[in-house]
């Protein structure tokens, strides 16, 4: 599998390569007529993030989608990626790709050059600001070269702002856009928590633009994917062109109940991601003091990648432990008595809920944290939406090992039945065969 390194303004492959197909006559996408059973096809997978390291929901989803596709099809991966990263977890899937091209994140624009350009993005452009921020001239050149030199049966794209780069490179036809998070939902929830001011007014104008843009997506692309049925219903009369591609989970070994530490509560997530930062602060500030008043000594353990002073500064080694960039999550899950997901912001579905349940742990989540998942409150997990109820629910479970075990067993059975990644791969195959 050729892996192409790429730096700005340098093409990662020869301008003329006799080993690839002749230039296509239909926007880089061939006429693909699927039959009943899947057949091996040539796919272009374009992502806003690489399938490594396996420490965030985004990278895990990309990894497992790619894993399923590369076992059945010839896949060329083009991904935005860090300029350097020493963590290799997740890179094994690259060896099954026909070709991999990495475009550095630093090639994206990220910020407007000046206030006038920012105003133009907001007022004169029909595209949301995210499209401008994630625009990479290098990525567009790479995609345009691929369109001229290869024939793909379909293009799979992660996120709408990456899909716009695919369109601008000249691709047309069978372009599937995976919207695992609806940006309008995430921004609306963030604005609900934010004080109103001049900045909030600009963000509300941006929210209106994103909503209009998302509603038009079914007319701009062949098909769309979302994580849950609630998001699919937002597209109204166009929902027949939107498929539910749920998040999934691995099947983990059953937990060792004897390894659980009394009073230990675990939160797992990327420690710089806004909704996770809000959840950690909410639990530490509002829920933890209430819980301590009910049961006495407890320990709130936060594990994830990265983290700024706002989160890392919570670590005191006793009441709150923050562990950043740990090599293996398994030991942390083993000792946790309860997994907490006090998420209030964001959109999509949460892999942290699925992974906690698949590991057989008792999970307490907000409704937002568990939304879109076919799990039963009170049977597979517990749901609590205010600080008092969340603290009382955690206190009850901490005091009752049998209730924790019962909840953990039911939740594990549920997600293994409904959310295995190999089942998600079959759903993807059904979409590609339509």
Q: Would residue 239 count as lying in a domain? A: yes
For residue 84, being part of any structural domain is answered with yes
Query: How many Cβ atoms sit within 10 Å of the Cβ of residue 79?
Result: 22
Angle value at C-alpha 133, between 108 and 70, nearest 5 degrees:
60
pLDDT at residue 88 in the model? 62
Chain-centroid distance of CA 332 in Å reads 22
3-class secondary-structure state, position 363: strand
| 397 and 428, same domain (yes or no) | no
Same domain, 231 and 313: no
Rounded Cα distance, 382 and 393, in Å = 7
| Residue 288 and residue 316 in one domain | yes
Q: What is the number of other CB atoms lying within 10 angstroms of the CB of residue 123?
A: 9
**What is the model's pLDDT at position 16?**
28
Residues 182 and 91 in one domain: yes
- Residue 122 has a pLDDT of 78
Whether residue 252 is contained in a domain is answered as no
Residue 366, domain member (yes or no) = yes
The model's pLDDT over 24-80, given as tens digits with 9 standing for 90+, comes to 334 566 544 444 456 889 999 999 999 988 888 899 999 999 999 999 999 999 999
Same structural domain for residues 83 and 179? yes
Residues 220 and 339 grouped into a single domain: no
Question: Are 305 and 235 in a shared domain?
Answer: no
Shared-domain flag, residues 267 and 172: no
Task: For residue 240, tell me if it sits in a domain.
Answer: yes
CA distance 13 to 146: 9
Do residues 313 and 355 both lie within one domain? yes
Share of the chain above pLDDT 70, in %: 88
User: Is 348 part of any domain?
Assistant: yes
Q: Which domain holds residue 124?
A: 3-247+421-432
Q: Where are the alpha helices (DSSP H) in 89-228?
A: 115-119, 129-133, 137-149, 160-168, 183-193, 198-220
pLDDT for the residue 198: 56
pLDDT of residue 113: 77
pLDDT at 118: 75
Residue 257's alpha-carbon distances to 295, 328, 357, 425, in angstroms, are: 20, 19, 14, 32
Whether residue 42 sits in one domain with residue 169: yes
- Judgement on whether residues 153 and 94 belong to the same structural domain of the protein: yes
Q: How far apart are CA 371 and CA 243, in angstroms?
A: 17
Sheet holding 42-47, edge to edge: 3-4, 99-104, 74-81, 42-47, 154-158, 175-179, 223-226, 242-244
CATH number for the domain harbouring residue 381? 3.40.50.2000
Helices 401-418 and 351-358, packing angle to 10 deg = 110
Sheet holding 299-304, edge to edge: 320-324, 299-304, 264-268, 338-341, 362-365, 382-383
What letter would DSSP give residue 101?
A: E
- 37: in domain: yes
Residue 275 lies in a domain: yes
pTM above 0.85, yes or no: yes
Q: Are 15 and 47 in contact (CB under 8 A)?
A: no
In angstroms, the Cα distances linking 205 to 91, 130, 217, 381 are 39, 13, 19, 38
Q: What is the per-residue pLDDT for 311?
A: 96
Question: Within this chain, do residues 287 and 311 fall inside the same structural domain, yes or no?
Answer: yes
Rounded distance between C-alpha atoms, residue 347 and residue 185, angstroms = 6
SS3 content of the chain, % helix, strand, coil (to 5): 45, 15, 40
- With a cut of 50, which residues of the chain have pLDDT below it? 5-26, 31-36
The pLDDT score that the predictor gives to residue 37 is 59
Distances (CA, A) of 265 to 337, 349, 357: 6, 21, 14
**Overall domain count for the chain:** 2
């Amino acid at each position: 599998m050729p892996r192409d390194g790429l730096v700005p303004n340098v093409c990662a492959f020869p301008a003329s390569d006799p080993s690839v197909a002749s230039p296509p006559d239909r926007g880089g996408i061939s006429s693909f007529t699927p039959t009943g059973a899947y057949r091996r096809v040539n796919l272009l997978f374009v992502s806003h993030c690489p399938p490594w390291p396996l420490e965030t929901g985004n990278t895990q989803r990309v990894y497992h989608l790619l894993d399923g596709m590369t076992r059945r099809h010839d896949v060329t991966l083009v991904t935005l990626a860090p300029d350097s990263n020493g963590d290799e977890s997740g890179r094994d899937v690259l060896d099954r790709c026909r070709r991999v091209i990495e475009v550095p994140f630093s090639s994206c624009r990220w910020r407007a050059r000046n206030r006038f350009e920012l105003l133009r993005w907001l007022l004169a452009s029909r595209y949301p600001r995210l499209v401008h921020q994630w625009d990479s001239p290098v990525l567009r050149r790479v995609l345009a070269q691929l369109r001229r030199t290869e024939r793909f049966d379909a293009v799979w794209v992660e996120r709408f702002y990456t899909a716009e780069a695919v369109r601008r490179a000249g691709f047309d036809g069978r372009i599937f856009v995976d919207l695992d998070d609806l940006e309008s939902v995430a921004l609306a929830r963030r604005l609900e928590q934010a004080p109103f001011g001049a900045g909030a007014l600009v963000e509300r104008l941006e929210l209106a633009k994103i909503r209009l843009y998302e509603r038009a997506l079914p007319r701009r692309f062949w098909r769309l994917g979302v994580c849950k049925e609630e998001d699919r219903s937002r597209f109204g009369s166009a929902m027949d062109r939107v498929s539910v591609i749920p998040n999934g989970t691995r099947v983990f070994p059953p937990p060792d109940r004897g390894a659980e530490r009394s009073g230990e509560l675990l939160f797992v997530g990327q420690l710089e991601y806004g909704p996770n930062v809000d959840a950690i602060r909410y639990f530490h500030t509002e829920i933890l003091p209430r819980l301590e008043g009910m049961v006495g000594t407890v320990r709130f353990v936060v594990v994830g990648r990265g983290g700024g002073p706002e989160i890392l500064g919570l670590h005191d080694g006793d009441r709150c432990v923050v562990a950043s960039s740990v090599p293996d999550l398994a030991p942390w899950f083993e000792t946790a008595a309860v997994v907490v997901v006090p998420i209030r912001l964001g959109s999509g579905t949460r892999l942290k809920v699925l992974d906690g349940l698949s590991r057989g742990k008792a999970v307490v989540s907000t409704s937002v944290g568990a939304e879109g998942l076919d799990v039963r409150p009170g049977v597979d997990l517990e749901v609590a939406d205010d600080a008092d109820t969340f603290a009382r629910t955690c206190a009850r479970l901490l005091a009752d090992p049998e209730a924790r075990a019962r909840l953990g067993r039911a939740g594990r059975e549920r997600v293994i039945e409904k959310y295995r990644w190999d089942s998600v791969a079959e759903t993807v195959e059904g979409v590609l065969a339509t």
